[in-house]
Structure 1
Amino acid sequence: MNETDADMGAVTESSGSGDRPWTLTAASILFWLLATGLAATGVWGLAQIVTGQVETVSGAVGVALIAFLGALYYWFIGRRLLRMQDIVAQAVFQGLLWLPVGYYLREAAHPLIGIGFWALAAAIVGLVLSGPSRRAVGFGERRPFAGGE
């Protein structure tokens, strides 16, 4: 429903085409799965501390804290993508960070897991940089500095 002005025509527009592309939904799901995995890693680290399976408690607490913070950050990226907000650059950067992880896993005698992480990186970058995703979040549109219109 549009409000109209006699001189200017449509003044406000409602979002009639607010459909989210499937690529953004899939990218959000990938980031939320990564967030879930990192949160589970943090819980596992805390369980290791409680059961006394670690050599240094402070190191294990640090690893668990970093896992929880990473999970929170990935949840935030997934949420912003699902809301169709522009967070494409951060999502691509985080996706590309999984490439060296895959390389080192391949070198550490885990070739299939390493290839899986490469596929994860390619899926994240491909989904986030696809045309429908970029158009939905407005990535690449030229905007003036200082938020002026």
Structure 2
Amino acid sequence: HWRMMRRIMIDAHDDSDLSFPSRQLSRPSRNDDAEQTASAVRSSNSANDAECELFISELTQENDESASRAPRFSRACRVCFTETPLRRAVFSACGHTLCRTCAEKLRVIATDEQRKLFCPLCRKEGGFVPLFEDRVEDDSEGVHS
């Protein structure tokens, strides 16, 4: 655009011809501009596509590795980190579970300090309910008839 403006100004100062014939204006064709833009976009897109594919691949691998490291379900208390507490409680407002010992300690502290009881994991207000669970042995042989 700058080149075109300069050419117009030179023509405007020329007293012999004040008209602006289109053949005097030197401007690149629209097809050249469009092709250059399309080429730049294609090369940028292919580089971005390659980066995205690599990033997605890395995230997928990380997700697969983390899923294999940690179990989807855990009985562990997330307060005291006891792996398999014998007795557990559930916080009624949110469904988070913890060992009954930790639940009782939290209840006693809240009562002594005359304040409301909150879930230690998400801070929702409510109370704990003891869970009554049956211990089931894992039968690796399958179902017996």
What TM bracket, shorter-length normalisation?
A: under 0.3
Computing the radius of gyration from Cα coordinates, the structure with the larger value is: 2
Does 1 or 2 have the higher relative contact order (CA < 8 Å, sep 6+)? 1
TM-score by length of structure 1 reads 0.21
Q: Higher helix share goes to which structure?
A: 1
